[in-house]
A and B are shown apart, each in its own frame.
Chain A
């Protein structure tokens, strides 16, 4: 296995494009090394992108946060301003693994590993993040919900790298929240994850909303019916019940060692409702 640590994007893309065998990008390594340990990944080439500056920084671009794909979970948790603007995203990030894992794991890696149960993905989906991808064909921008297409599979082409995630400009009276269900308090893979982001107008009516669910289908879901239930409402109890119903209805989960179908359907509704409750409280104060 060869290891390269290029310091520019161009060099990284060239390495990936030229590799005849299998190549994997190394960001935090918290998924890749586990896969190598179990034998499910045995790449011929590892391209470590942590020396590429633009992938490792959080910058404000015309009032919008651009988070490098290789920024670690802990760095995001420690960024006070980003926390204030996007607490729902931080909710998701701070549930990935343990403190040790968050010291290395990255949002880009979490996204590109494409586990349907990834913790930060429903949060960044509901926040409306857009992935900036560089490849042989140039640059393209893709909403993050279109990256994961199935368990472990993405829409990223060979030779492409997700460079950063661009978050929208944060509107007034808008905020988000992410909740997940795990049997233990920490350290588990999400059995259900729900990310909600919403915006209120001056009168407290919801004008924009997005609900995203994890671990209840083969990929992260965007629940349009959930958003519709919220938009135009004052996010009262009846709305939250409707939201919960929409969330449960949208699931097509599996039975596996982490949870049953029935359980996931029920809890998806519960978490969507609770996450929306937190989001609306935060939005009212923001």
Chain B
């Protein structure tokens, strides 16, 4: 079957690519658009390393077909910083040492940003439950949760 041509928006820019009909959005981002910031940890939606925003909704890109995003907006980790300016979450993750190997970090940042956009003043428990879909094996989650709460406070203007 001929490859499909998909036109969509990624991180605010129009982009297009060719893909197989059974190719995931994750694969299209990494292999067709060379946006390798989004990671594959499991391929089955169990680890969250492939988290992206799809039309403003937090999803696993390994569970989305590339052909489904025709005409849609995708946001990946590459679009999180604005030029030289890191997003407060990115800064707080660095300040709090909330990453060690860093492979899960893009997924956590995308997921955490989605939380704070919805819920600017979450409790610790809300942060942990929202991020339950993102696995980290290095940090034990402690500093990630602290970084998210600190970023939330900063974004609220404290």
Interface residues of A in 29-75 (CB under 8 A from B): 29-30, 33-34, 36-38, 46, 48, 50, 72, 74
Per-position binary interface string of chain A over residues 69-94, scored 1 when its CB falls under 8 Å from any chain B CB and 0 otherwise: 00010100000000000000000000
Whether the pair B44, A34 counts as a contact (CB closer than 8 A) is yes
Contact of B129 among A5, A72, A186 (CB under 8 A): A186
- Who on chain B is nearest to A38 by CB? B44
Complex-state Cα separation, A97 to B129, whole angstroms: 11
Whether the pair B62, A97 counts as a contact (CB closer than 8 A) is no
Nearest chain A CB to B51 CB, angstrom units: 6
- Who on chain A is nearest to B43 by CB? A37
Whether the pair A100, B51 counts as a contact (CB closer than 8 A) is yes
A202 cross-chain contacts in B, Cβ below 8 A: none
Nearest chain A CB to B12 CB, angstrom units: 20
Whether the pair B46, A187 counts as a contact (CB closer than 8 A) is yes
Interface residues of B in 45-78 (CB under 8 A from A): 45-46, 48, 51, 54, 57-60, 62-65, 67-68
Assign chain B's interface to a size class. 20 to 34
Whether the pair A3, B21 counts as a contact (CB closer than 8 A) is yes
Complex-state Cα separation, A28 to B20, whole angstroms: 19
B62 cross-chain contacts in A, Cβ below 8 A: 33, 37
Complex-state Cα separation, A34 to B62, whole angstroms: 9
B114 cross-chain contacts in A, Cβ below 8 A: 99
Whether the pair B133, A33 counts as a contact (CB closer than 8 A) is no
Nearest chain B CB to A34 CB, angstrom units: 5
Assign chain A's interface to a size class. 20 to 34
Whether the pair A100, B59 counts as a contact (CB closer than 8 A) is yes
Contact of A100 among B1, B22, B111 (CB under 8 A): B111
Complex-state Cα separation, A29 to B54, whole angstroms: 14
Contact of A30 among B4, B20, B63 (CB under 8 A): B63
Whether the pair A29, B43 counts as a contact (CB closer than 8 A) is no
B134 cross-chain contacts in A, Cβ below 8 A: 98
Nearest chain B CB to A153 CB, angstrom units: 22
A104 and B64 in contact, given A1-B22, A34-B44 (Cβ under 8 angstroms): yes
A34 cross-chain contacts in B, Cβ below 8 A: 44-45, 63
Let me know if A26 is at the binding interface, CB within 8 A.
yes
Per-position binary interface string of chain B over residues 31-51, scored 1 when its CB falls under 8 Å from any chain A CB and 0 otherwise: 000000000000111101001
- Who on chain B is nearest to A74 by CB? B57
Nearest chain B CB to A152 CB, angstrom units: 17
Whether the pair A46, B58 counts as a contact (CB closer than 8 A) is no
Whether the pair B21, A2 counts as a contact (CB closer than 8 A) is yes
B111 cross-chain contacts in A, Cβ below 8 A: 99-100
Let me know if B90 is at the binding interface, CB within 8 A.
no
Whether the pair B132, A33 counts as a contact (CB closer than 8 A) is no
Whether the pair B133, A37 counts as a contact (CB closer than 8 A) is no
Nearest chain B CB to A29 CB, angstrom units: 5
Whether the pair B45, A99 counts as a contact (CB closer than 8 A) is no
Per-position binary interface string of chain B over residues 117-130, scored 1 when its CB falls under 8 Å from any chain A CB and 0 otherwise: 00000000000011
A99 cross-chain contacts in B, Cβ below 8 A: 58, 111, 114-115, 130, 132-133
Contacts A2-B1, A37-B44 given; 13 further ones with Cβ under 8 A? A3-B67, A26-B65, A28-B63, A29-B68, A33-B63, A34-B44, A34-B45, A46-B65, A100-B59, A100-B60, A100-B63, A104-B64, A186-B133
Residues of B near any A CB (own CB < 8 A): 1, 4, 20-22, 24, 43-46, 48, 51, 54, 57-60, 62-65, 67-68, 111, 114-115, 129-130, 132-134
> What are the 10 closest A-B residue pairs judged by CB atoms, nearest first?
A98-B133, A186-B132, A3-B21, A100-B60, A103-B59, A103-B57, A1-B22, A33-B63, A100-B133, A1-B21
A-B pairs with beta carbons under 8 Å apart, 20 shown? A2-B21, A3-B65, A26-B65, A29-B64, A29-B68, A33-B65, A34-B45, A36-B22, A37-B44, A38-B44, A50-B68, A98-B133, A99-B132, A100-B48, A100-B58, A100-B60, A104-B57, A104-B59, A104-B63, A187-B132
